[in-house]
Chains A and B, each alone.
Chain A
């Protein structure tokens, strides 16, 4: 069911951002623009951990008294469970601070539709390959503060492997822990390999670090926005045909996921929502 308009509410999309790569925040602004064009909210804003406006400052930018906060993050974890609640001073799903009501939604990455979006993205970049002769690799960072994103990727792998997508193999792979994305050819028993980065943005990891690990490039290149075009698929490497997609978060349909998360929030917390 499409989200009913909320003409007195603001939507606040929270992203990580970067002090080094301007492309890191592009998907958040794209998602905001898409939702803004649907005229569902009085205001749609973005804020960031690493860029401006910060979470503490963006509240000064909002007129509406009711604010839906949606973490545009790939998984639950350090940022969604610790940093964002702390920065906004949230005490639960709904928090009232200085006359404003904040509703804190789940992050986009945990939404059930992400599985379909990964499969859609894989099909788009390699439309003519036979899944029976193709390995689908979903890749992320791994280790440290990102343990939940590791789990999120493994969950997606299990869901796609159990689906009727028909891939010969579906595997997880990480930058900093086994199975390593650098060993993508050894992880793939097939001649075709499709790699989908499970990140929100084409930032430092998905656009600059992983292509080096895959062997597509010999050194870390410039940011995506400073290049002429997106990479040309396929790449013939290590005796295989490799297709590499942009980060899953750049998918335009993520705007719908954000709206679904708000609808889900309202359904789960109806007594608290005006």
Chain B
């Protein structure tokens, strides 16, 4: 079964949510409707006319580039997707194309996770393979990395992904709202949503590790002096 078929199976069995996107079918005209979850109650006439209508799945890139405050959404798991639009699509293949832009690789990661074939990379493996300007990120302490998770990950910090990685093979993340989060923002049953999965720390996290690592070294040298 390919990824589109997995997605079709999910939708046909009642699944309707991924991240902040609600997916509804319209049996009357055999179309699919995608919208921001906050607009889900507008998917009926005449309120739907208030939404900006898109029929091209690739419009998902522009819709997901900026948040309402104009900030650039360089990580797509952020819970600041703009609302006010509806995407009307004809096929599940088109839904997949749109979702690959709204939430890159999320459908594939969800399928791989369900099949047990996802390769999770722990933080130390991720940091140790950094070269160039991020090489020094590897020197962050375990305590510093644990604290960073609570400071920048999870829905409290606008990230809707479920963290699958640990610090290393023997060091799980400390219990926190971020480490417990299931990758499904909003109130929806787990079997009705595709969770957003974080299989390795993102570039933002690595960049922050570099800063903490630098601060830790400065603090250590100050103590020695």
Contacts and interface: CB of A to CB of B under 8 A. Distances in A.
Interface of A: 17-22, 29, 33, 45, 49-54, 56-63, 78, 82-83, 86, 98, 145
A82 B131 contact: yes
Interface of B: 2-4, 58, 61, 65-66, 72, 74-76, 100, 104-105, 107-109, 111-112, 117-118, 121, 129, 131-132, 199-200, 202-204, 207
A241 B159 CA distance: 49
A59 B109 CA distance: 9
B100 A45 contact: yes
B132 A60 contact: no
Given A45-B100, A57-B104, 10 more contacts: A18-B74, A19-B74, A22-B74, A29-B61, A53-B100, A53-B104, A57-B108, A57-B200, A60-B108, A61-B3
Contacts of B4: 63
A60 B74 contact: no
A28 to B, nearest CB: 11
The 8 tightest CB contacts between A and B, nearest first, are: A60-B108, A53-B104, A57-B105, A52-B104, A53-B105, A19-B74, A61-B105, A63-B2
Given A22-B66, A29-B61, A61 B104 contact: yes
A58 B199 CA distance: 12
Nearest to B103: A52
Contact of A58 (B66, B104, B112): B104
Given A53-B104, A53-B105, A60-B112, A19 B66 contact: no
Given A53-B105, A63-B3, A78 B129 contact: no
Nearest to A226: B70
Nearest to B198: A57
Contacts of A60: 105, 108-109, 111-112, 118
26 contacts: A17-B74, A19-B72, A19-B203, A20-B74, A22-B74, A33-B58, A51-B74, A51-B203, A52-B104, A52-B202, A53-B105, A54-B200, A54-B203, A56-B121, A57-B109, A57-B200, A58-B105, A60-B109, A61-B107, A62-B108, A63-B4, A78-B132, A82-B131, A83-B131, A98-B117, A145-B132
A224 to B, nearest CB: 13
Contacts of A49: 203
B29 to A, nearest CB: 26
Contacts of B203: 19, 49-51, 54
Contacts of A63: 2-4
A21 B65 CA distance: 10
Given A29-B61, A61-B104, A82-B131, A56 B200 contact: yes
Nearest to B113: A60
Given A86-B129, A145-B132, A22 B72 contact: yes
Nearest to A33: B58
Contacts of B131: 82-83
A38 B179 CA distance: 44
B44 to A, nearest CB: 33
